[in-house]
Homo-oligomer: A and B are copies of this chain.
Amino acid sequence: MTEQEKSTEDLIFNAAREEFIEKGFDGARMQEIAKRASINKALLHYYFRTKEKLFDAIFDKVFKIFMPKVLDVMQSDAPLFTKIEVFIESYIRLIMENPHIPSFILHELNRNPDRLVGLFGNVAGIVKEKGFSRFSEAVNEEIKKGTIVPIQPEQLIVNIIGLCIFPFIGRPIIQGVIFNGDKLQYDNFLESRKKEVTKFIINAIAVK
């Protein structure tokens, strides 16, 4: 399907996704979305009625595309170390392809935490039940076997995800302060992180 053949709804959706991700809900403008989609404002409301409903459609889709990736690896039967290794590499790669998504999700979730409730029973619930519980069991087994040091699975999962996501959320300050604003240095930093974070975490929990 070429750009010209896309349905108007898709045009609007993609334009809105860009605008909302760049500016956030409060900063986004319906006029700007219409401009990006090369249509007029009235048509936005014809398809999605309100800005809020349009935003909801975007947020749900982005969230549902982004979160389940966590599961693909977490619920596999591979050994814990392998799981972690594969997760980190694929997750950082995923974020590198969509570097503004984490800030977008976290900021909008903070603006309206109740949004999570609407996602429960759907993605959030699945992440917890099929993803985290499974991960949690695997961690506790390894602790019992003595292959990793004692650690709460909740602390470990937050450490893993935080180490993957933080460099993107904190990009302006990292690139600005640590790398003197040099984009290339920052990009190299990200690239080498895929292996560095894995090494770091394995070191932190492995019993040697």
A contacts, CB < 8 Å to B:
23-24, 26-27, 103, 105-107, 109-111, 113, 116-117, 120, 124, 127-128, 132, 149, 151-152, 154-155, 157-159, 161-163, 165-167, 169-174, 176-180, 189, 192-193, 196-197, 200-201, 203-205, 208
Contact = CB atoms under 8 A, between A and B. Distances in A.
Q: Give the number of times this chain occurs in the complex, counting copies.
A: 2
B169 A106 contact: yes
Contacts of A174: 158
A19 to B, nearest CB: 13
A117 B177 CA distance: 10
Contact of A113 (B23, B128, B172, B193): B172
Contact of A166 (B110, B162, B180): B162
Given A152-B196, A201-B204, A116 B176 contact: yes
A106 B155 CA distance: 23
A189 B24 contact: no
Contacts of A163: 159, 162-163
Contacts of A24: 24, 26, 107, 111
Contacts of A208: 208
A162 B170 contact: yes
A132 B177 contact: yes
A157 B109 CA distance: 27
B162 A158 contact: no
